Structure 1
Amino acid sequence: MSGYDDNPFAEPVSVNPFNDPSVTQVTNSSIEPVDQYNPFPQSNDGLAIHTTPAVLRTQQPSTSPAVLQPSSDPSPQASAARAQADLLRQQEELERKAAELDRREQELQSRGSTGKENNWPPLPKSFPIKPCFYQDFSEEIPVEYQRVCKMTYYLWMFNCVTLFLNLLACMAHFITDSKYGVDFGLSILWLILFSPCSFICWYRPVYNAFKTDSSFSFFTFFFVFFCQVVVFIIQSVGLPNWGNSGWIAAISIIGSNKAVGGIMIIVSILFTLCAAVSIILLKMVHSMYRHTGASFQKAQQEFSQGVFTNKTFQSAATGAASSAAQGAFQGNN
């Protein structure tokens, strides 16, 4: 009933929140507030709760079930497959290297002894036959010999054209009279035989002679080219049944067939020009040879050195010596 005795019209009593007993106890205490906090409260029996060290916990056996880890060792099938793949890769690498070596060997063989790629005859790269020689006047021939060397080369080409026209003239002569079939057959033979042989036997020797100042090449050229001059003279004369459209054959046919006779006269003039130019070139090369210091003794030395250093000659000499030694040994026994 005390609540009803209060005067409702009395002034309200001011309430101080700091007069609360719990607040005044903390503020009046001499202990720091942090020190009053105990993270390990005592149990009901007054004993502190002890924690198990982490080291001891790791030593306790685990009750979780063991999980089997997959083995990292490859299976025999995987090892065999890997080994087979390695062998195939090595085989492909060896085949690639072998193909590269074959290509380089063919390239070196095509370059020849000069170490440069052959450029004569000038054939297209797609052609199955490759060039056989390397030829460069400005690089390999001295300046004072280039003019004569080029004239020799032009004479060889002029001779090939003349032999081809000689074949056409003999064929026309054979068409008009079948008894001249021998001349037509021989004209084919002269074109096939003299064109490559003249290049190898007298043009290349004079080219090598001017390039290396070789006495042996000079003497080879003089001997073969002198025979070539004789052949040019015989071809220009035009003996019957020799396969040449020379002056004699042309004059004998011009009365019966002027067209064929005119063609043969043109060929006779070309053969005569070949003979005249060849005589002039022979004298020019000989005069240059006398100023080069070449001699017959040097030619003999070059020939002997070339023969004894030739692998074919060395193998033949070794075989002959071994055969002779075996024969002598068997005869003594």
Structure 2
Amino acid sequence: MSGFDENPFADPVEVNPFKDPSVTQVTNSTIDGIQEFNPFSAGGLDQNNDTTIPISEGSSQPAVLQTSQEPSPKATATAAQANLLRQQEELERKAAELERKEQELQSRGATIGPENNWPPLPKFFPIKPCFYQDFNEEIPIEYHRVTKMMYYLWMFHCVTLFLNMLACLAHFTVDSGRGVDFGLAILWFILFSPAAFICWYRPVYKAFKSDSSFNFFFFFFIFSFQVIVYIIQSVGIPSWGNSGWIASIAVIGTNIAVAVFMMVVAGFFTVSAVLSVILLKMVHGMYRRTGASFQKAQQEFSTGVVTNKTFQSAASTAASTAAQNAFQRN
């Protein structure tokens, strides 16, 4: 009945659970242990060592962050000026070196350009190559095929002239009165092989290389005569130095083997004539697509003549001679 003696309307007694003697004893012992424990001491690592170093005894200094000092505007301007002067000196040194090399090239008379590679002769040979030829480097890719076909036609032309010389020699062994044909066949081989290369192959090569109207017209003019010559050689007019159809048929009654050999050469001449007509039409078709014209050919010819050093020296010599004659007359 003691519970009923208390006043329920009275203020409750404030009871602090943390003031309990048992709780206070535990908390005080824990705080003291924490204050005396230093994990960075040797005793903290060794459990058998009862000696501890209080944290308060350790000395530590705060880290100091040093402020960076920016360079002054005057120092920046001085460094930039020094850098510019150094670059200017380097450029002047390179320009002087280039000028020196250019003067050396001019003094030696060196010509800038690729080294000639045709005809492909051995290095120990006393005669050096006379032309430079490279289809992949100098000829546009759309003209590779026709330019190489012209080159193969020229080689076929040389082989045909060589076989014609042998056929005329065989004909001369059978008929001693055909010495003129054999002599002319030798002349045609020696003369027309390099002449064909210079007169119609090189012009068409240079025409496709630089889109030159003058070289196109020069090629058409010379190659038209070459087609006529092929036709005459395939016919084989006697005493003209050609083993054509007429000359080979005339030898059938004398020697069959020589006649067959001469017919083979006549067939080579016929194939050369047919191929030359086909290639002439191909080159003409490509020429019409390049935009070349007779007016451009005239301009190229006049420009080439005026800028030619031989023509300039001859013109200056003639002018000086005429001036001296006029002065002497006066």
With normalisation by structure 1, the TM-score equals 0.66
In structure 2, stretches of 5+ residues that fail to align are: 1-103
SS in 2 for 1:127: coil
Amino acid at match of 1:318: S
Amino acid at match of 2:249: I
Pairing partner for 1:237 from 235, 238, 255: 235
CA distance in 1, matches of 2:252, 2:129: 43
Q: Which residue of 1 aligns with 2:120?
A: 122
| 1:67-106 Cα deviation digits (max 9, x unpaired) | xxxxxxxxxxxxxxxxxxxxxxxxxxxxxxxxxx99x969
Q: Which residue of 2 aligns with 1:142?
A: 140
Pairing partner for 2:170 from 164, 169, 172: 172
Amino acid at match of 2:173: I
Deviation of 1:130 after TM superposition, in Å, equals 1.0
Amino acid at match of 1:186: L
Q: 1:191 to 1:105 in 2, by over 3 A?
A: farther
Q: Within the alignment, does 1:285 sit opposite 2:256 as a pair? A: no
Deviation of 1:187 after TM superposition, in Å, equals 0.2
Amino acid at match of 2:302: S
Task: Give the greater-gyration-radius structure (CA).
Answer: 1
The percent identity for this pair of structures is: 72
| 1:215-237 Cα deviation digits (max 9, x unpaired) | 00100100010011111111101
Q: 1:105 to 1:172 in 2, by over 3 A?
A: farther
The runs of at least 4 aligned residues of structure 1 exceeding 4 Å deviation read: none
SS in 1 for 2:251: helix
Q: Within the alignment, does 1:189 sit opposite 2:156 as a pair? A: no
With normalisation by structure 2, the TM-score equals 0.66
Pairing partner for 2:328 from 322, 327, 330: 330
Mapping 1:166-315, distance limit 5 Å: 166-315=164-313
Mapping 1:55-70, distance limit 5 Å: none
CA distance in 1, matches of 2:317, 2:124: 42
CA RMSD of aligned residues (A): 1.7
Amino acid at match of 1:190: W
CA distance in 2, matches of 1:126, 1:329: 55
Deviation of 1:214 after TM superposition, in Å, equals 0.4
Q: Which residue of 2 aligns with 1:63?
A: none
Deviation of 1:128 after TM superposition, in Å, equals 1.2
Amino acid at match of 1:249: A
Amino acid at match of 1:272: T
CA distance in 2, matches of 1:308, 1:173: 52
Amino acid at match of 1:179: G
In structure 1, stretches of 5+ residues that fail to align are: 1-100
Deviation of 1:330 after TM superposition, in Å, equals 2.0
Which has the higher mean CA deviation after the structures are superposed, 116-125 or 215-224? Answer: 116-125
SS in 2 for 1:254: coil
CA distance in 2, matches of 1:143, 1:174: 47
CA distance in 2, matches of 1:328, 1:117: 47
SS in 2 for 1:262: helix
CA distance in 1, matches of 2:225, 2:278: 15
